[in-house]
Structure 1
Amino acid sequence: MKTLSADKWSQYWQKGTITTFHKKFENNYDGSIKKHWDDEFSRLSTDAQVIDLATGNGALLGLLNQYASSEQYRIAATGVDFADLHAEFFEDFSALELTLKQRTAIEQTDLPDNHYDLAISQYGFEYADCIAAVDELSRICKPQCRISFIMHNQESQIVREGFQSLEQIELVNKNLGLPELIKNMVEAIDKYQRQKNEKSKRRADKYRDKLNNAIMKLREAASQYDDPSYLQFFHDNALAVFNPAMSGNMSVKEKLQVLRNVDKETRSLIGRMEDLTSVAMSDEKNTLLINQLKNHKFSHINVEQLQYNGFHIGQLLTAERN
């Protein structure tokens, strides 16, 4: 399993996105997802203790805060993540008595025994060692508790698009070699503008033909994907160095820095998509997880597909211990 480091996830959350799918859920999770969590929160008593595992920038805690605010009471909640948690993203959660534990693995939280009534997680629990994490859940949750996790599933649209993102990255960077072509073109244009001779013109024309051919293939490929987001990102950012309105006053050095920035974002995306696709739940992984939950006296275990706007976007796992 490929796993991003805590530092890499910290850098991602520092950007301020509330979820890992900001283009799908720009203002936090909504629709059927929000309804599930509102239904879950409606079970809570006013003195309940809630733990959010792999909390990130607090998407679920934000929904919990909304619910508690609407009911006009406060809920005690703990957010745990193995990356840095940025306090500024949690400042408006006024309906929560909030504790944050950063740089903390959910397999070993060092939280008190028999403390939590509800454990929640959204696209986070599966990134841990699920067997060890259930051991820890069993310790920190009350004898009568409930868990509710939304998790990546191998058959979901999100995982499908994760694989497609990796395909798009390989197409752009390896198959078409666009970053190197753009770099060569930038340098060739600069050389021609300085030298104004036939040799430098032929060199620039050669790279222009190669680049135009690669861009045409890039645009043709876009229709093959459910969500060609990476192709669009690369087109809008890397190719901006040839757009006078955006780069007219840029030096060659500044244009090459744009390409390095695009490469940095690409590497970050690779890490997240490799993580996502490798941790997605399968029938085999679910069987192991369910058996471990049963070993710790959890019952009423249910795993079902989660639908959002007509798409299968993951699985919902719920269980309780009586």
Structure 2
Amino acid sequence: MTTHWSEYWKLGHVTSFGTDYKENYTGQLKDLWSDIFSQFSTGFKVLDVATGNGALPLLIQDYFSKLSIDGEVKGVDYADINMAPLTSSHHNKNVVIELLGNTPAESLPFPDCEFDTVISQFGIEYSDLIISMPEVLRVLKDGGIFHAVIHHQKSVVICYNSKLLSFLQHPEIERVVFLLKMMAHDMGEMTDRQDLIRIKSCAKCEKSRIEINDLLSKLAVYDEESLSESGVLKYINDFFINGLFWSVEKKLEYLVFVSEQISVYRQRLTELVAASMSVERIDSLREVLRQNAVITFSVEEVVNNTGDILGWYFSFSKHSF
């Protein structure tokens, strides 16, 4: 799991939704976390599990930017972390942030009873909850609270990405990339307009071009919105516009990159959809907590202003007996 998520965070995204939340979480999600942050008192110690590039720690810094409250937030993620969003922030430095990559939720490198609060946003559900939940309880202080927003099987996020995943599994996409590789060879080295005239009379190139257009028309019939959102059209445009006069070697290297990016995207979406929680999985989570002596467990749906489901919110407190 780590490799493709490491590549994703390397691009500088703050959240796991790419351009959907370019800066950080907003709306109902931000309001929900603001209500939680309002419960923190000075000297707080918070752990963010599956932090990504630190979206929640940055929200905490922003929330306390005009308040005289000090605190510490540590974030861990199984993937590598890109520190750029953190180092470029100009938020309240009274809230100290430390992020640790290559750190699974199933094995938290902290002493027992270290944190007042443990939080997670669209992250901990990717872990093995049978192992990670006892770890959360271990590092929580007595009376400490766990808050999480996790993926809901029927949320707009999962429905949208399930549709996109289904689109990316169409074999026509791989065929388009294969035909582009054939065209790179058939076009040969190109340096000027004379080469443009030459390839227009290339029967092999024309045959590949026609098939590519037919495949794209077929993909548009399947799902025109996903065709646009998937990045497939952008890759093709880059090949024919920006890369037209690249060397054959560079064209082929670019197409290897394209294949890798599509594969990585497919992997991330597969994991995202698989991590989403149905009502039955929520019941299983409740049972895991009961087995670890958690009696009080709160769960509710998070919805936006139009009634669309955004995720599950659940929380519990740690009590020693």
Is this a same-fold pair by TM over 0.5? yes
The answer on 1:136 being equivalent to 2:135 is yes
In structure 1, which of residues 305, 311, 314 is the aligned counterpart of residue 311 of structure 2?
314
Offset of residue 304 of structure 1? 1.9
Counterpart residue identity of residue 241, structure 1: F
Offset of residue 204 of structure 1? 2.6
What corresponds to 1:146 in structure 2? 145
TM-score w.r.t. structure 1 length?
0.87
Looking at structure 2, the residues matched to 228 and 309 of structure 1 have their Cα atoms a distance apart, in angstroms, of 27
Offset of residue 313 of structure 1? 2.3
What corresponds to 2:208 in structure 1? 207
Looking at structure 1, the residues matched to 203 and 244 of structure 2 have their Cα atoms a distance apart, in angstroms, of 23
Offset of residue 17 of structure 1? 0.8
Looking at structure 1, the residues matched to 78 and 33 of structure 2 have their Cα atoms a distance apart, in angstroms, of 23
The SS at the match of 2:110 is coil
Offset of residue 34 of structure 1? 0.4
Looking at structure 1, the residues matched to 5 and 127 of structure 2 have their Cα atoms a distance apart, in angstroms, of 14
Deviations 1:5-62 (A, max 9, x none): x343223212111111122101110010000000000011112211100111000000
Deviations 1:243-262 (A, max 9, x none): 3xx23432232222222221
What corresponds to 1:237 in structure 2? 235
Deviations 1:202-235 (A, max 9, x none): 323322221221122233333465x8510xx110
Looking at structure 2, the residues matched to 307 and 95 of structure 1 have their Cα atoms a distance apart, in angstroms, of 32
Does structure 1 retain, via aligned residues, the 8 Å contact 2:54–2:99?
no
Looking at structure 2, the residues matched to 202 and 25 of structure 1 have their Cα atoms a distance apart, in angstroms, of 46
TM-score w.r.t. structure 2 length?
0.87
The SS at the match of 2:24 is coil
What corresponds to 2:117 in structure 1? 118
Looking at structure 2, the residues matched to 22 and 52 of structure 1 have their Cα atoms a distance apart, in angstroms, of 19
Looking at structure 2, the residues matched to 256 and 90 of structure 1 have their Cα atoms a distance apart, in angstroms, of 36
What corresponds to 1:264 in structure 2? 260
Aligned residues between the structures = 312
Offset of residue 191 of structure 1? 8.5
- The residue correspondences of 1:152-301 to structure 2 (distance < 5 A) are 152-171=151-170, 173-174=171-172, 177-190=175-188, 201-223=202-224, 228-230=228-230, 233-243=231-241, 246-301=242-297
What corresponds to 1:84 in structure 2? 80
Looking at structure 2, the residues matched to 190 and 84 of structure 1 have their Cα atoms a distance apart, in angstroms, of 39
Counterpart residue identity of residue 211, structure 1: I
Deviations 1:237-282 (A, max 9, x none): 2233223xx2343223222222222112112111211111112112
Does structure 1 retain, via aligned residues, the 8 Å contact 2:76–2:99?
yes
Counterpart residue identity of residue 314, structure 1: G
The SS at the match of 1:144 is strand
In structure 1, which of residues 303, 311, 315 is the aligned counterpart of residue 299 of structure 2?
303
Does structure 2 retain, via aligned residues, the 8 Å contact 1:168–1:228?
no
Looking at structure 2, the residues matched to 216 and 306 of structure 1 have their Cα atoms a distance apart, in angstroms, of 38
The SS at the match of 2:17 is coil
Offset of residue 141 of structure 1? 0.5
Does structure 2 retain, via aligned residues, the 8 Å contact 1:68–1:75?
no
The answer on 1:9 being equivalent to 2:16 is no
Structure 2 unpaired stretches of 5+? none
Looking at structure 2, the residues matched to 291 and 176 of structure 1 have their Cα atoms a distance apart, in angstroms, of 43
Does structure 2 retain, via aligned residues, the 8 Å contact 1:159–1:280?
yes
Does structure 1 retain, via aligned residues, the 8 Å contact 2:179–2:212?
yes
The SS at the match of 2:109 is coil
Structure 1 unpaired stretches of 5+? none
